[in-house]
Amino acid sequence: MLRRMAKQGKSQGKSRGKEAAGRITPRAEDYPQWYQDVVREAGLAEPAKVVKGCMVIKPHGYAIWEKIQRDLDGRFKATGHQNAYFPLLVPQSFIQKEAEHVEGFAPELAVVTHAGGEALEEPYVVRPTSETIIGYYFSKWIDSYRDLPLLINQWANVMRWEKRTRLFLRTTEFLWQEGHTAHASHEDSELEVRRMLDVYGDHAEELLAVPVVRGIKTESEKFAGAEQSLCIEAMMQDGKALQAGTSHDLGQNFGKAFNVMFQTETGERDYVWQTSWGVSTRLIGGLIMTHSDDAGLVLPPRVAPIHVVIVPIFRKAHEREAVLEAAARIKQRLEQVDIAPETSRYRDFLSVVVDDREGMRPGAKYYEWERRGVPLRVELGPRDLAKGQVCVRMRVDTAAGSGKEFLPEDEFIDTIRSRLLTFQDELLSRARARLSERAVTIDTWDEFEKTFAGDKSTFAWCHWDGTPETEAKIKELTKVTIRCIPLPGQGPDPEPGVCVLTGKPSARRVLMAKAY
Amino acid sequence: MLRRMAKQGKSQGKSRGKEAAGRITPRAEDYPQWYQDVVREAGLAEPAKVVKGCMVIKPHGYAIWEKIQRDLDGRFKATGHQNAYFPLLVPQSFIQKEAEHVEGFAPELAVVTHAGGEALEEPYVVRPTSETIIGYYFSKWIDSYRDLPLLINQWANVMRWEKRTRLFLRTTEFLWQEGHTAHASHEDSELEVRRMLDVYGDHAEELLAVPVVRGIKTESEKFAGAEQSLCIEAMMQDGKALQAGTSHDLGQNFGKAFNVMFQTETGERDYVWQTSWGVSTRLIGGLIMTHSDDAGLVLPPRVAPIHVVIVPIFRKAHEREAVLEAAARIKQRLEQVDIAPETSRYRDFLSVVVDDREGMRPGAKYYEWERRGVPLRVELGPRDLAKGQVCVRMRVDTAAGSGKEFLPEDEFIDTIRSRLLTFQDELLSRARARLSERAVTIDTWDEFEKTFAGDKSTFAWCHWDGTPETEAKIKELTKVTIRCIPLPGQGPDPEPGVCVLTGKPSARRVLMAKAY
């Protein structure tokens, strides 16, 4: 196991180029560079380079995605959804059937014009999202109210030809899931939209330890083709917002575009009410920017591919065997510990690495595993063995552990589950505290401009007059966008006021920030 | 749960068109039509139609794929592999770097020529397989023997523009996994090729209950760009062979094409030795054609998305509540039963459906669930309740159960795990028996032609003179191909003889059959 991880580290070292080798730029010095450095040094991903705007997701990054998938997939199934798979290619004409949809996606499409050695009569686009092609099959599958609700999810790759890309946060190809459902009434589909937003919010908080604000997108920020888009917004350490997931009320728009009709209980024909909702590998970007520090990646244990690294320490050859033997024993004991929630239908056994590489100082090993975000490190030397103890260090000082601690081996094994889960909770609390400390209410344009001067950002609760013109003006002047109109309980209580820019009446504050 | 499954059935009913609604053609009447009918009636997949040669994998089919993925993924990880993800698009020039590779794949490529509203300077192809692009990154990641072996797997969609397609067996887009590894010596890479072939063989036999012959492809049948291809071949019920998985020794071919060099332990520079190996959604086609019968799909429990269906039976309204209550209780008890192997790192709790649809006769329900391949059915009526028993029926009569059996509820729950695992074993034994009964040795061309007359096929062990000319001639005359040169223990012991067509000397018999 270690052998391979070490090699990953090594190969990553080679690919990162000489100029930046090994250095993580401090956040305070250059935040975007810090992010790139953390991604590179943790071995999560690298720019594909030979394929415009794409990335290669490396094993450590992909293992995080697998944990995200497993958690989400369980939540989807628990709420009655089934997975299916639809074609990668979509007839170009399909994209054009919903007016707003084509306007939103046409500029970003990759187009297959030739196949099997011939020019195609009608080109295909690589799916940027699958509302259109799934709408087409829904029209074949749905006949009556008895067929509804139809609750489908797809795990897939999609492609949007973006001009400016950034690892995980925005890439031309990305991995995601897209839920697509059809319902017999708007009431039902609205409930679904809200249910799935909560699934996303709970996933972000419970698995990723990323607190989110749940809200509604403005008209200009909503999904192309939706009646309304709900979203979860997370605050990154630089105060910018990351839209981490969206859940769309499609109304009957795609039902009409693809003639998805059903017979109602009263015998009439009507168009179905649809929803779609998705999260992507972008979540990994949000995870990184929520917890990591100047020493590199920090991972909550539930999403960490490796939970514990054991570094054996010995100076003399005769100590080697006993230390390695103890390390192997502890690894084996730890690997029997399951940190999945009590109610889980899956197991989540601890993943443990013994870093027995030779010719490398313990300090260098600590440094490397810190960068990779391993939550807990065990240092194990002859003196510890003699005392029947282990030396434990959490990746970040929290209530789960602070500084080096020396624990009897049995106590360590018996308490590791609660220690890791405490660490998970602490990361969430810490991020929550940051969100509430940094969020501000702003009532004057002067203060608004100061708050968002230059590259600065935070979460600002401001009054807005509700017009797209004002929204556009604010964006033009400051690059700040309306992240969402908060759902009940997700921000200050609604109270009337006046727009931060225009002074016109406003019914409630909305969330404003610069965004990724 | 049931509600959705019923809807799936319903919607599937609609999409299958009126002419064939509900009928499964007997195998003896029209085997290819039988296969299509089974796929359709089980709700596994349907032709995409609007995207040439593609399919839509419906929820019941995708759930089978998920079980295949989970099992394989565990085996890959247990043998030291890590998952990663590489771009969908491959620069067209990459495909051309390995001479045999381009010759093999060029005619099947789908090409992206436009993106983001502009013509691309260099077109991209949609990956037909990823040796080339992964070779490129390997050249960046590998520097020294310490970086080796590098053991990577990717779960992905790929696209090959096939002229004749058939659900699961051959589609233009399909889902698969592709392993790509790099090693410091040919000895190492050869071991890997063989290891992964055995992983595939074990998976096919242990999860899918599909017995396979493990062997080596001839020169003309090997992967475009490989030194040697190993394969597993399964016999379908019509006697045709299905290549169910392949594992390739790439030698240094891609290492040279993409300049993947490493420093050896002795300080020299050498090209790495690579392997690649893959299985795809094609496995589902093999699974269907191994076990299913004229009543529809038959599934081994380890790969079945639904293990048990409970059909409540009552004539009078006052019986309804008690029967449904008992059904819910039994469902809940069954769902606590985990049929994963003792050593498993995952859980595999029974999935149980209570078919409480109203206005549908029990017989119609039995019929529908038989078609969907549910291994075990429970019929539950007021008389059973009074006696504290359940009526159990296995999907196929085997040692796991034959005809209707009446069991006390507790005994049923206590024995269901072993009953389902026995059923699994029986399906494998039955398929093994068929393979060994039907396999023949043929020594004369006369007998060969008779055996393979018209559409007929079986597994034939024949001597072959070892030349590609003879191989081509046999194929031209009879459509029979050499499926593989068997590995030790996988067929008759090697003994010299004379070629079945030319009479020239032969060192050993090879496996011949018509193939999917």
Residues A351-386 have pLDDT tens digits of 999 999 988 999 999 999 999 999 999 999 999 999
Question: Do B205 and B428 form a contact (C-beta atoms < 8 A)?
Answer: yes
Q: Does residue B463 lie in a domain region?
A: yes
Query: Per the domain annotation, does A495 fall within a domain?
Result: yes
The contacts of residue A17 (CB under 8 Å, 6+ apart) are none
With 70 as the cut, is the pLDDT of residue A20 above it? no
- Say whether both A172 and A250 belong to one domain: yes
Cβ proximity of B301 and B423 under 8 Å: yes
pLDDT number for residue B17: 36
Reply yes or no on whether the pLDDT at A6 is more than 80. Answer: no
State whether B83 and A66 contact (CB < 8 Å): yes
A257: in domain = yes
Longest CA–CA separation in chain A, Å? 85
**Does A14 have pLDDT greater than 70?**
no
Q: Given an 8 Å threshold on Cβ–Cβ distance, is A159 in contact with B86? A: no
Q: Is B358 exposed, middle or buried (0-12, 13-18, 19+ CB in 10 A)?
A: exposed
Cβ distance B62 to A85 less than 8 Å, yes or no, reads yes
Residues B252 and B304 both lie in one domain: no
Statement to judge: residues A178 and A271 lie in one domain: yes
> What average pLDDT does the segment B207-229 reach?
97
Q: What is the pLDDT of residues B79-132, one digit of tens each?
A: 999 999 999 999 999 999 988 888 899 999 999 999 999 999 999 999 999 999
On chain B, the residues whose CB falls within 8 A of the CB of A88 are 54, 88, 126, 157, 159, 173
Residue type, A132: T
Q: Can you give the three-state secondary structure of A268-299, one letter per residue?
A: CEEECEEEEEEEECHHHHHHHHHHCECCECCC
Give the domain-ending residue among B432, B465, B486.
B432
Domain that holds residue A381: 298-432
B91 contacts A82? CB cut-off 8 A = no
pLDDT average, residue stretch A248-268: 96
Which tokens sit at A354?
A: 């013994």
Q: Which residue has the higher pLDDT, B20 or B500?
A: B500
How do strand B440-442 and strand B460-463 relate by DSSP bridges?
Answer: parallel
Q: What is the pLDDT of residue B105?
A: 92
Do residues A339 and A478 share a domain? no
Residue A19 has pLDDT above 50, yes or no: no
Mean pLDDT of A439-446: 98
Asked if residue A314 and residue A199 are part of one domain, the reply reads no
Strand boundaries in B209-341, DSSP class E: 213-216, 228-235, 241-251, 261-263, 269-271, 273-280, 308-312
Task: Output the average pLDDT for chain A.
Answer: 94
Task: Between A2 and B85, name the one with better pLDDT.
Answer: B85
Which residue would you say has higher pLDDT here, A229 or B17?
A229
A&B contacts, CB < 8 Å = 211
Is the predicted pLDDT of residue A318 greater than 60, yes or no? yes
Peptide bond into A149 cis (omega under 30): yes
The pLDDT of A433-461, averaged and rounded, is 97
To probe the interface with B, which of A15, A56, A109, A168 has the most B CB atoms within 10 Å? Answer: A56
Tens-digit pLDDT profile for residues B251-308: 999 999 999 999 999 999 999 999 999 999 999 999 999 999 999 999 999 999 999 9
Is residue A336 pLDDT above 70, yes or no?
Answer: yes
Eight-class DSSP state of A494: P
Mean pLDDT, range B45-59, rounded to an integer:
97
Q: Does A359 touch chain B (CB under 8 A)?
A: no
Separation of alpha carbons A250 and A253, rounded Å: 6
Note whether residue B52 is domain-resident.
no
Q: Is the pLDDT of residue B15 over 50?
A: no
| Beta-bridge partner residues of B90 | B125
Same domain, B274 and B318: no
What pLDDT, on a 0 to 100 scale, did the predictor assign at position A215? 98
Q: How far, in Å, CA of B111 to CA of A120, rounded?
A: 10
pLDDT score for A315: 87
For residues B313-321, give the mean pLDDT.
Answer: 91
Contact A84 B106 (CB under 8 A): no
| Residue A98 belongs to some domain of the structure | no
> Above 70 in pLDDT, residue B173?
yes
pLDDT recorded at residue B4 = 43
pLDDT of B427-447, one tens digit each? 999 999 999 999 999 999 999
Are A114 and B113 in contact (CB < 8 Å)?
A: yes
Residue A323 has pLDDT above 70, yes or no: yes
Please choose, from the candidates A471, A473, A478, the residue with its C-alpha nearest in 3D space to the C-alpha of residue A510: A471
- Residues counted in chain A: 516
B12 pLDDT more than 60: no
Q: CA dist A291 to A361, B179, B416, Å? A: 27, 33, 46
Residue A303 has pLDDT above 50, yes or no: yes
pLDDT of residue B21: 54
How distant is the Cα of B137 from the closest Cα of chain A, in angstroms? 9
Examine the fold and report which residue of B373, B405, B432 is the final residue of a domain before the chain moves on: B432
pLDDT digits (tens, 9 = 90+) for B141-162: 999 999 999 999 999 999 999 9
Looking at residue A120, what is its pLDDT? 97
- Kindly report the CATH number assigned to the domain that includes residue A327: 3.40.50.800
CATH code of B279's domain: 3.30.930.10
Distance CA B384, CA B401 (A): 18
Model confidence at A5, in pLDDT bands (50, 70, 90)?
Answer: very low
Confidence bin at B16 (pLDDT 50/70/90): very low
Asked whether the beta carbons of A308 and A376 are under 8 A apart, the reply is yes
Structural domains counted in chain B: 3
Split at pLDDT 50, 70, 90, the class of A343 is confident
Q: What is the mean pLDDT of residues A26-44?
A: 97
Q: What residues in A contact B258, CB-CB < 8 Å?
A: none
Q: Write out the two tokens for B121.
A: 């300077």
The alpha-carbon gap from B107 to the nearest alpha carbon of chain A, in Å, equals: 5
**For A395, phi and psi rounded to 5 degrees?**
-60, -30
Residues B326-384 have pLDDT tens digits of: 999 999 999 999 999 888 888 999 999 999 998 899 999 999 999 999 999 999 999 99
- Residue A497 sits in a domain whose CATH number is 3.30.110.30
**Cα atoms in the Cβ-side hemisphere of radius 13 Å centred on B407:** 20
Enumerate residues 154 to 213 of chain A having a beta carbon within 8 A of any beta carbon in chain B: 156-157, 159, 161, 163, 173, 175
Decide if B93 is inside a domain: no
What average pLDDT does the segment A129-148 reach? Answer: 97
Q: A323-360: b or e for each residue (b if 16 or more CB lie within 10 Å)?
A: bbebbeebbebbeebebbeeeeebebebbbbbbbbeee
Put simply, the answer to whether B345 touches A345 (Cβ < 8 Å) is: no
* Whether A59 contacts A8, CB under 8 Å: yes
Q: Does A360 touch chain B (CB under 8 A)?
A: no
Comparing CA positions, the residue from A232, A249, A231 lying closest to residue A182 is A249
Verify that B380 and B485 share a domain, yes or no.
Answer: no
**pLDDT, average across residues A192-210:** 98
Mark whether B279 and B355 lie in a shared domain: no
Helix axis angle, A409-438 to A282-291, nearest 10°: 100
B335 touches chain A (CB under 8 A): no
Mark whether A78 and A191 lie in a shared domain: yes
- Residues 6 or more apart in contact with residue A131 via CB below 8 angstroms: A98, A101, A180, A225, A250, A254, A274, A276
Residues A452 and A470 in one domain: yes
Cα–Cα distance for residue pair A250/A183, rounded to 1 Å: 11
Candidates B2, B8, B11, B280, partner chain A, best to mutate (most A CBs within 10 A): B11
* pLDDT tens profile B449-478: 999 999 999 999 999 999 999 999 999 999
Q: Which residue has the tokens 């039976």?
A: B313
Average pLDDT of the residues of chain B: 94
Q: Tell me, yes or no, whether B111 lies in a domain.
A: no
Confidence category of residue B310, pLDDT binned at 50, 70, 90: very high
What is the pLDDT, as a whole number, of residue A21? 54
Whether the CA torsion A394, A399, A401, A403 is positive or negative: it is positive
Last residue of a domain, one of B273, B291, B309: B291
Window A:121-160, CB contacts with B under 8 Å? 123-124, 126, 133, 136-137, 140-144, 146-148, 150-152, 156-157, 159
Does residue A251 share a domain with residue A164?
A: yes
Give strand ranges (E) for B82-149.
82-83, 89-91, 110-115, 118-126
Across the range A417-443, mean pLDDT stands at 97
Claim to verify: residue A412 and residue A461 sit in the same structural domain: no
Residue A33 lies in a domain: no
Q: Which of A11, A117, A150 sits opposite B142 (nearest CB)?
A: A11
Return the pLDDT at A304.
Answer: 98
